[in-house]
């Protein structure tokens, strides 16, 4: 979800969302209906919208994930404050020893919002529809066959081992729909489907909320689902999500005109009133540099010693300070919320003396390299332009002359995808909560090739990539991804920089406020003091 969640997977997931976020949102003036109810039964959340649809098979943007998570249950899920392991939602599951066959048994008695039971037919239809629509999230189930075993059992099979599949099925886009209702309104399992219009005005799920109304430019209103019989009973009768710019969000939450603000930058939270609560932590967004290894693009950036100079020239602590409260250094390309991330002691370190020596040995003296970035992208409120300017200064201290080349996202994304940037400054949001998502940076993989880094450039890391996609044992996976992260830090053309903060500001009356990398915030999990 660079889209920031998603589509470009930074290639297809990380980047499109960034563009949407960069467009910004217009402030919506409060209206009487937006105020909390007299008994606290209504909650208002302000967020800068990146919302196109709430059809689960088509949506893959952060605001969409918030809404769809509330409307549609998935087979599996995560606890709000723990995204490291899946837990049952609509189903329990068993996996074959080789991780090519996953059998899901539906929890007895679960029903949709119209009272009808959730069955295996609904699961098969929903997952096959996700695949067949060819929308942004369809890639999640590439190579997965879905088969009904009986009314309560569904089997998913893959040709190659797929240990990431359970985590993928916890993504809101894999929400289970009421097949009969959706089919009655044009739903199919291919690109002839016309149910999106219906699903943007009505919900057909088993989640804790139903959709009262939706305007993708301004507001979504959700009502408690009276038929909901899952494990997370919602506290609030009504949830209102409003499209509001960050400056207005800050004023609204401080004045009590909203109860939660989701889009405040580090600078904004630094001056918050003491009347509100701040939940601040490093997000799962990783900001990184791509140093092109293709000599046809640049003989300088493709020199491994130059890459080492860049890695040593960066004052990572200064970048974290720039990002503000809650930010952290990215210890590897795998963020801290994932299995296989590296401890801080194994992160890249600032060494100006080494950087200066390596830069001179690589022939950087007298040469200029171009640092390209989308100047209208600001992941979690941190403008990439600010990061680029700080990097330019830091690299200059090591004898590396950098010319900044800002461009609109819509323009720069083409250069990124075609691998023509000398140095690129980008960011990646996870498509799903499994470290396999980051193997795309490996040699010969999608993002690796954008850096001019083919498989044969580093067969040892390429072998770790292969193992990472197929190894299922938890302890082995942890060790494997840690080894991959160390090798990537040492030898890859990528430089993980930082994880900017995710700031959630709320009124003191709101409890159970947790940032989740997959759905940002679970509105059904919010409590009331």
List pLDDT tens digits, range 126-177: 999 999 999 989 999 999 999 999 999 999 999 999 999 999 999 999 999 9
For residue 65, the SS3 value is helix
Per-residue model confidence (pLDDT) at position 28:
41
Q: Which carries the bigger pLDDT value, residue 155 or residue 3?
A: 155
Name the burial class of residue 368, with classes exposed (0-12), middle (13-18) and buried (19+) by CB atoms within 10 angstroms of its CB. exposed
Write down the number of H helices and E strands in the chain: 16, 21
Record the tokens describing residue 167, joined without a space: 């985590």
pLDDT at 234 over 60: yes
Secondary structure letter of residue 83 according to DSSP: E
The total of other beta-carbon atoms located within 10 Å of residue 476's CB is 11
Query: Which one, of 358, 335, 523, lies nearest residue 427 by Cα?
Result: 335
- Kind and range of the H or E element at 231? none
By mean pLDDT, which of 108-122, 124-138, 239-253, 377-391 is the weakest?
377-391
Per-residue model confidence (pLDDT) at position 492:
98
In the predicted model, what is the mean pLDDT of the chain?
91
pLDDT band at 30 (very low <50, low <70, confident <90, very high): very low
Question: In this predicted model, what pLDDT tens digit does every residue of 263-301 receive, in sequence order?
Answer: 888 888 889 999 999 998 889 999 999 999 999 999 999
Per-residue model confidence (pLDDT) at position 281:
82
User: How far apart (Å, rounded) are the C-alpha atoms in residues 70 and 519?
Assistant: 10
For residue 182, the SS3 value is helix
Sequence-distant (6+) residues with CB within 8 A of 414 are: none
The reported pTM is 0.84
Range list of β-strands (E), 15-143 = 42-47, 76-79, 82-88, 91-95, 101-106
pLDDT band at 32 (very low <50, low <70, confident <90, very high): very low
pLDDT at 5 over 70: no
User: How far apart (Å, rounded) are the C-alpha atoms in residues 307 and 159?
Assistant: 38
Label the pairing between strands 209-215 and 219-224.
antiparallel
Q: Apex CA 155: angle with CA 151 and CA 161, to 5°?
A: 170
Complete domains list, the chain, with CATH = 34-279+503-528 (3.40.190.10), 286-499 (3.10.105.10)
What average pLDDT does range 244-257 have in this prediction? Answer: 94
pLDDT band at 434 (very low <50, low <70, confident <90, very high): very high
pLDDT at 29 over 70: no
Cα(first)–Cα(last) distance of the chain, in Å? 33
User: How far apart (Å, rounded) are the C-alpha atoms in residues 16 and 510?
Assistant: 32
Per-residue model confidence (pLDDT) at position 40:
67
Per-residue model confidence (pLDDT) at position 18:
35
Per-residue model confidence (pLDDT) at position 39:
59
Q: Do the Cβ atoms of 391 and 261 come closer than 8 Å? A: no
370-to-91, 286, 322, 495, 496 alpha-carbon distances in Å = 51, 21, 22, 16, 18
- How many whole angstroms from its chain centre is CA 28? 26
User: How far apart (Å, rounded) are the C-alpha atoms in residues 126 and 114?
Assistant: 17
pLDDT band at 335 (very low <50, low <70, confident <90, very high): very high
Percentage with pLDDT > 90 across the chain: 80
pLDDT at 478 over 50: yes
Per-residue model confidence (pLDDT) at position 518:
87
Q: Apex CA 172: angle with CA 167 and CA 178, to 5°?
A: 115
Contacts 24+ apart (CB under 8 A), 27-31: 27/244, 27/245, 27/247, 27/248, 28/218, 28/219, 28/242, 28/243, 28/244, 30/252, 30/257, 30/258
Name the burial class of residue 338, with classes exposed (0-12), middle (13-18) and buried (19+) by CB atoms within 10 angstroms of its CB. buried
Question: In this predicted model, what pLDDT tens digit does every residue of 194-219 receive, in sequence order?
Answer: 999 999 999 999 999 999 999 999 99
What average pLDDT does range 350-373 have in this prediction? Answer: 98
By mean pLDDT, which of 78-82, 96-100, 349-353 is the weakest?
78-82
pLDDT band at 34 (very low <50, low <70, confident <90, very high): very low
pLDDT at 50 over 90: no
Query: Which one, of 96, 148, 90, 150, lies nearest residue 118 by Cα?
Result: 90
Q: Could you give the angle at which helices 15-23 and 409-418 cross, rounded to 10 degrees? A: 170
pLDDT at 14 over 80: no
Q: Which carries the bigger pLDDT value, residue 136 or residue 357?
A: 357
């Amino acid at each position: 979800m660079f889209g920031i969640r998603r589509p470009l997977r930074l290639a297809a997931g990380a980047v499109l969302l960034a563009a949407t976020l960069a467009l910004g949102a217009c402030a919506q003036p409060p209206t009487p209906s937006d105020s909390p109810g007299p008994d606290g039964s209504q909650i208002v959340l302000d967020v800068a919208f990146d919302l196109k649809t709430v059809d689960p098979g088509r949506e893959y943007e952060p605001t969409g994930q918030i809404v769809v998570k509330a409307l549609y249950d998935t087979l599996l899920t995560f606890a709000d404050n723990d995204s490291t392991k899946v837990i049952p939602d609509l189903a329990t599951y068993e996996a074959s020893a080789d991780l090519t066959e996953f059998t899901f048994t539906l929890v007895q008695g679960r029903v949709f919002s119209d009272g009808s039971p959730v069955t295996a037919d609904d699961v098969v239809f929903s997952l096959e529809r996700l695949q067949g629509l060819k929308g942004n999230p369809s890639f999640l189930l590439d190579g997965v066959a879905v088969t009904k075993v009986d009314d309560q059992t569904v089997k998913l099979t893959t040709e190659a081992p797929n240990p990431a599949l359970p985590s993928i099925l916890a993504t809101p886009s894999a929400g289970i729909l009421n097949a009969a209702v959706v089919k009655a309104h044009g739903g199919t399992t291919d690109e002839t489907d016309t149910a999106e219009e219906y699903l943007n005005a009505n919900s057909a799920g088993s989640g804790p909320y139903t959709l009262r109304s939706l305007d993708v430019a301004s507001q979504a209103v959700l009502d408690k689902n009276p038929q909901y019989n899952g494990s997370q009973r919602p506290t609030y009768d009504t949830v209102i999500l409003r499209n509001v710019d960050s400056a207005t969000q800050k004023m609204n939450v401080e004045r009590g005109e909203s109860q939660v603000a989701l889009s405040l930058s580090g600078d904004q939270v630094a001056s918050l009133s003491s009347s509100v609560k701040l939940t601040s932590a490093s997000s799962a967004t990783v900001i990184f540099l791509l140093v092109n290894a293709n000599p046809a693009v640049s003989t300088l950036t493709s020199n491994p010693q130059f890459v080492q100079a860049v890695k040593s020239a960066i004052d990572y602590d200064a970048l974290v300070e720039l990002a503000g409260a809650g930010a952290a250094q990215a210890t590897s390309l795998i963020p801290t919320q994932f299995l296989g991330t590296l401890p801080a002691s194994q992160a890249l370190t600032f060494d100006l003396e080494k950087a200066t020596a390596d830069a001179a040995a690589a022939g950087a003296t007298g040469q200029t390299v171009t640092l390209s970035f989308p100047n209208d992208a600001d992941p979690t409120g941190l403008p990439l332009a600010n990061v680029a300017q700080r990097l330019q200064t830091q690299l200059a201290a090591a004898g590396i002359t950098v010319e900044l080349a800002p461009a609109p996202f819509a323009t720069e994304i083409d250069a990124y995808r075609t691998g023509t940037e000398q140095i690129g400054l980008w960011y990646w949001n996870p498509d799903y909560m499994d470290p396999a998502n980051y193997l795309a940076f490996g040699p010969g993989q999608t993002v690796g090739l954008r850096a001019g880094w083919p498989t044969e450039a580093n067969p040892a890391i390429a072998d770790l990539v292969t193992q990472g996609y197929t190894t299922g044992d938890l302890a082995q996976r942890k060790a494997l991804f840690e080894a991959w992260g160390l090798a990537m830090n040492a030898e890859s053309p990528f430089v993980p920089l930082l994880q900017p903060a995710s700031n959630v500001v709320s009124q003191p009356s709101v409890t159970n406020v947790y940032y989740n990398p997959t759905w940002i915030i679970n509105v059904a999990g919010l409590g009331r003091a």
